[in-house]
Amino acid sequence: MLVDSHCHLDFPDLAEDLDEVVARARQAGVGHMLTICTHVTRFERVLAVARRFEGVDCTVGIHPHEAGKEPETSAETLMALADDPKVIGFGETGLDFFYEHSPRDAQERSFRQHIRAARESGLPVIVHTRDADTDTVRILGEEQAEGAFPGLIHCFSSSAQLAERAVELGMMVSISGIVTFKKAEALRETVRALPLDHLLVETDAPYLAPVPKRGKRNEPAFTAYTAATVAEVKGVSEAELARATTDNFFRLFTKARRPAAVAAAE
């Protein structure tokens, strides 16, 4: 079984044929999906999708692009929304200095509130970082000094130094379809060096479809292509990669319910 640890099933690109999208994921061996919240004001829509399907959970959070537009949201509010059994983490949150759709100070304040929610609840924080490695490392380090919290860097495409620091802080690193791109050799080198027990796989659907689907709408079924490339890079079988990344997901997201068939097989 594979887990798509980061997708956006509530986005309009997937909504028109969502039943078929989920069915294709099952057929491709993707037994669990995590659909990610980007606007706290749209959280109910995200939660409704998670409630609709067995084996789909969700998060609550504010994407850094939206940090200056969404209501400023406290850790207490995030934790209250996470009371639902289908809500298993916070985010995505973090820093994006490439587009800077929101002011940097608003991004940082929001990021820290999500981290505080993770620390106080024990649920992981899902971190988005782009062109912001230095500040991401600074904030993660400062917040870890206040007390440990679980989390992951999603859709990883940053420096090897950020990956190493994330592992030092006990975080997971999630790999998207970018790893299959022809010009992503530096990312493949980073993946090769990362410990297998710190890796997850994801689609970030409907974006970033992997080779050989690049240019098309991405969907959770395509997790299999990313996983195959990661397995090749790591020098392990696809079955071993699937077992490891699935184990890593359920070890990190302790609130998620592992499918009965997989749990029984172990």
Question: What distance in Å separates the CA atoms of residue 135 and residue 114, rounded to the nearest whole number?
Answer: 16
What pLDDT, on the 0 to 100 scale, is given for residue 259?
Answer: 80
Neighbours of 122 (CB within 10 A): 12
Flag whether pLDDT at 262 surpasses 80.
no
The model's pTM is 0.96
Tokens for 140? 């993660």
- Asked if the bond preceding 195 is cis, omega within 30° of 0, the reply is no
Q: What is the pLDDT of residues 72-87, one digit of tens each?
A: 999 999 999 999 999 9
Q: What is the pLDDT of residues 162-178, one digit of tens each?
A: 999 999 999 999 999 99
Question: What distance in Å separates the CA atoms of residue 114 and residue 186, rounded to the nearest whole number?
Answer: 30
Tokens for 119? 């620390």
Q: Which domains, ranges and CATH numbers included, belong to the chain?
A: 2-258 (3.20.20.140)
Total residue count of the chain as it appears in this document: 266
Question: What distance in Å separates the CA atoms of residue 60 and residue 263, rounded to the nearest whole number?
Answer: 26
What pLDDT, on the 0 to 100 scale, is given for residue 18?
Answer: 98
Flag whether pLDDT at 261 surpasses 70.
no
Q: Annotated binding site: which residue ranges?
A: 6, 8, 92, 128, 154, 204
Question: What distance in Å separates the CA atoms of residue 72 and residue 110, rounded to the nearest whole number?
Answer: 7
Are the C-beta atoms of residues 75 and 110 closer than 8 Å to each other?
no
Q: Annotated binding site for a divalent metal cation: which residue ranges?
A: 6, 8, 92, 128, 154, 204
